[in-house]
Every structure is written in structure tokens, then in C-alpha cells.
């Protein structure tokens, strides 16, 4: 199929996070965008850079620098046959991608890999006073604020929250200064969404050994310059408040039927967006749910896998083939995760019952970091 009046097929990839980079890499390897092949490939991203966001807590603590963890994607784009359009995808209408300045790009296939945004759930002050921790820019802002603080409250005791607490406490200890860190969550235990009580107990014990305090089972109602006010009226005093309480979809205007829980893009087993012809989604932008009800976790490894799978399916459709079904591995039913709790401690979570201390998360993330630094080298 040719969209509108296009003389050649056009593929658009939106986003240069893990899913977007992996999709471009795979489409390049498959030769889908080779010169003279009858396919025009565009990479839409407001900032043509891959940020290694899993290390954001380490950047916030000053253990790593942002410059070590960001790489331009121009060389990969050129090798893979893509032209970069440095704009943000704002809307999708039919088979037209609308960019932030109103420019319209017709497409045959679009992959939305634009990531996710922080979800503030209507908590007053969360989006204006608290510092989110979802990017390396956020991490730099937190580092500056935390370096002058004697107390930090972290709202959200999931992956990001517990890793940030560990990194900040270890940094303060290494610098010989006192820092109070309090984790706040509406669930009764850290990592509560995983449903692995062993992991919750282990992570809580490690963080308490580091000096963290926990206020669990109470949702935040308001963030102000003095700290966090809980729904019960209790106040947690803090010089700095970190927000790590959840994600929502990428904020791209699409038909209502395409959106599901958290305004993520709902995809079928082939990663095609519900009700949108020619549109795929992968990574954090997508709501990926298996037939058994298990949902993909928002993790880098799952973003890499789904980005690659979507690229394979687009390449198949370009040559008249059929897409392949995708089965996420990192799900809420059988979680597999590695947490880095500062530079010297980590925890592996396997399923609903197994958790143990290990440095494997550090080794795995460093391996992936080196691979992408090499991949994106000019």
C-alpha cells in the first residue's frame, strides 16, 4: 500500500529511546530502508539522542555523569537508511503523522516508540514542586537539589524510587554528610506491584541498613516546599521531594479507542495499535497484554525486545508477508528484574517467590551500556 499520493512506501519511527533505536537498527539489518529499495524511512525525534535512563539514579547521586550515558543516533540512522526529522510527534490522524509544528507526514507504517511520561494522579504540587526522575536531565536537577539538602522524600517505592534512595544514601555516606531519606508509597511494601514478598522484604531490609525510612500504605495528597502531606493529614518534612510514583502514555493525540489504562497505546499480539491501520507501538508507549492477562513491565529489556519485534513485523508487511505474534517475557505475572542499590549492592527478582542479593544487575546494565555506546559510535 502507498499512503496518499506517495510514490514510494514510507516508514516512520517516532522516538529515540531503547525501542526506537532497536527498531531502526533491526530495519537497517533487514535492508528495509536501503537506498533504491522503494521505501523512504524517517526517524522523528525531538532530540536525536539515546539516553541510558536505567542509570538515572546513579547520575542523581553523582556516581556517573550524563555525558557518559548519552549518544547521538545520527550515525546509526545513516547506516540504517533513515533520515532524521528533529521534531516531536504530536498526533496521528488516519495515516498521517502530525508533528509539533503542524507539519504532516503521510506514512504506510508508523512505529510509536515515544516512551512514557510521569503520571501525577492529580496530587497537588506533584508536577510543579517535586522533581521527577524519568530522564537524565531530571537526574541532574535532582543531584543539584540533593547536594544542598539534609532530607529527601521519595514518593513511589517501585524500581526507580528504591534505586534512587540507595544511590542518594550511599553518596551522602561517601561524602561524610548526613542525609535523611524517606520512601512513601500507597502500597504496604516497596516493590508491591511485583507481588514478590521476598523481594519486598529484602529490599526494605537493605535500604533500612543504609538508613532509609519508610512510610507505607498512605498515599500522598499534596507536595509543597516543606515536603509531603499524606491523605491522612500527616506531614513528612523534606527539603527535596522526588516523584517516582508511576507512568502514563506519551501524550500523543490519537483516537480514543487506541488508548487504554494510563493512556498507553493498546496493541494486539502483533504490536499493532488498536483501531489504527498501519500503526505499531513498542516500549514504554505501549500497553502490551498477553492473552492470559499478563502485562509487559516498563523495563529497558522489554523495550528492546518489543522495538525489534515491531521492526520485524513492519519489514514483513513491506514485502507482503504476515506479522509475527509477540510474547513479552518481563511481565507482572512472572516478574524478572534486577535492581541496582547503590554501587556495591543489588537484588535479583525472579517470579513471585525468589529474590536474592547479587551484582548481576550491575553487570547486565554495564554490558548493555557498552553495547549501545559501540552501536551508536560515529
Residue 14 belongs to some domain of the structure:
yes
Specify whether 231 is located in the same domain as 289: no
Q: Are 18 and 105 within one domain? A: yes
Whether 94 is covered by a domain: the verdict is: yes
- H helices present in 147-223, as ranges: 159-175, 197-210
My answer on whether 84 and 110 are in the same domain is yes
Whether 79 and 224 map to the same domain: the answer is no
Specify whether 102 is located in the same domain as 61. yes
User: Does residue 335 fall inside a structural domain?
Assistant: no
Domain-ending residue, one of 264, 292, 318: 318
Total count of domains within the chain: 2
Q: Are residues 78 and 35 in the same domain?
A: yes
- Judge whether 376 lies within some domain: no
pLDDT at 237: 98
In a domain, 331, yes or no: no
Q: Are 52 and 369 in contact (CB under 8 A)?
A: yes
pLDDT for the residue numbered 316:
97
189: nearest Cα among 157, 161, 167: 157
Our measurement of the distance from residue 229's CA atom to the centroid of its chain's CA atoms, rounded to an integer in Å, reads: 27
pLDDT in tens, 268-285: 999 999 999 999 999 999
Q: Is 373 contained in some domain? A: no
| Rounded distance between C-alpha atoms, residue 118 and residue 121, angstroms | 9
Q: Rounded to an integer, what distance in angstroms lies between the CA atom of residue 35 and that of residue 17?
A: 25
> What radius of gyration do the chain's Cα atoms show?
21
> pLDDT by residue (tens digit) across 10-35?
999 999 999 999 999 999 999 999 98
What tens digit of pLDDT does each residue of 155-177 get?
A: 999 999 999 999 999 999 999 99
Distance CA 78, CA 310 (A): 20
- Of 204, 221, 247, the domain-final residue: 247
- Claim to verify: residue 126 and residue 242 sit in the same structural domain: yes
Q: Do 127 and 243 fall within a single domain? A: yes
Q: What is the pTM of this model?
A: 0.94
**C-alpha neighbours within 13 Å on the C-beta side of residue 341:** 24
Residues 77, 124 within the same domain: no
Give pLDDT, residue 8.
83
Answer yes or no: do 170 and 208 share one domain.
yes
Q: Name the helix (H) or strand (E) containing 240.
A: strand 240-243
CA 332/CA 138 separation, integer angstroms? 27
- 234 and 125 part of one domain: yes
Quote the pLDDT of residue 3: 59
CA distance 94 to 40: 19
Q: Residue 106, Cβ neighbours under 10 Å: how many?
A: 16
Q: 206: domain CATH number?
A: 3.50.50.60
Torsion of CA 17, 50, 169, 200, to 10 degrees: 30
In a domain, 330, yes or no: no
Residues of the chain with confidence (pLDDT) below 50 = 1
Q: What is the pLDDT of residue 104?
A: 98
Domain that holds residue 30: 9-116+249-318
377 assigned to some structural domain: no
The domain boundary, picked from 318, 347, 373, lies at: 318
Q: 90 and 163: one domain?
A: no
pLDDT for the residue numbered 377: 87
Amino acid at each position: 500500500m502507498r499512503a496518499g499520493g506517495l510514490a514510494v512506501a514510507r516508514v516512520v519511527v517516532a522516538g529515540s529511546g531503547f525501542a526506537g533505536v532497536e527498531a531502526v537498527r533491526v530495519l537497517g539489518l533487514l535492508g528495509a530502508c536501503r537506498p533504491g529499495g522503494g521505501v523512504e524511512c524517517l526517524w522523528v525525534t525531538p532530540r536525536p539522542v539515546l539516553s541510558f535512563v536505567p542509570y538515572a539514579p546513579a547520575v542523581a547521586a553523582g556516581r556517573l555523569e550524563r555525558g557518559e550515558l548519552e549518544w547521538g543516533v545520527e550515525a546509526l540512522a545513516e547506516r540504517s537508511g533513515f533520515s532524521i526529522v528533529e521534531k516531536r510527534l504530536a498526533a496521528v490522524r488516519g495515516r498521517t503523522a502530525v508533528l509539533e509544528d503542524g507539519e504532516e507526514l503521510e506514512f504506510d507504517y508508523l512505529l510509536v516508540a515515544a516512551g512514557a511520561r510521569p503520571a501525577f494522579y492529580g496530587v497537588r504540587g506533584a508536577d510543579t514542586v517535586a522533581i521527577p526522575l524519568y530522564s537524565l536531565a531530571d537526574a541532574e536537577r535532582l543531584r543539584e537539589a540533593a547536594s544542598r539538602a539534609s532530607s529527601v522524600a521519595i514518593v513511589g517505592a517501585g524500581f526507580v524510587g528504591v534505586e534512587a534512595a540507595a544511590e542518594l544514601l550511599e553518596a551522602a555516606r561517601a561524602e561524610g554528610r548526613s542525609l535523611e531519606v524517606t520512601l512513601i508509597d500507597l502500597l504496604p511494601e516497596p516493590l508491591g506491584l511485583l507481588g514478590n514478598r521476598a523481594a519486598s522484604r529484602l529490599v526494605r531490609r537493605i535500604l533500612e541498613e543504609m538508613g532509609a525510612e519508610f512510610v507505607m500504605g498512605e498515599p500522598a495528597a499534596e507536595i509543597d516546599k516543606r515536603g509531603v502531606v499524606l491523605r491522612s493529614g500527616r506531614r513528612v518534612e523534606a527539603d527535596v521531594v522526588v516523584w517516582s510514583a508511576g507512568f502514563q502514555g506519551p501524550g500523543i493525540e490519537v483516537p480514543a479507542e487506541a488508548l487504554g489504562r494510563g493512556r498507553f497505546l493498546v496493541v494486539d499480539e502483533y504490536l499493532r495499535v488498536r483501531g489504527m491501520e498501519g500503526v505499531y507501538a513498542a516500549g514504554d508507549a505501549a500497553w502490551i497484554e498477553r492473552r492470559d492477562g499478563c502485562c509487559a513491565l516498563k523495563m529497558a529489556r522489554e523495550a528492546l525486545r518489543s522495538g525489534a519485534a515491531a521492526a520485524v513485523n513492519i519489514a514483513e508487511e513491506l514485502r507482503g508477508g504476515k506479522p509475527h505474534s509477540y510474547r513479552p517475557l518481563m511481565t507482572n505475572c512472572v516478574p524478572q528484574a534486577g535492581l541496582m542499590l547503590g554501587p556495591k549492592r543489588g537484588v535479583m527478582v525472579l517470579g513471585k517467590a525468589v529474590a536474592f542479593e547479587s551484582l548481576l544487575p550491575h553487570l547486565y546494565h554495564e554490558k548493555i551500556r557498552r553495547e549501545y555506546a559501540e552501536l551508536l559510535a560515529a
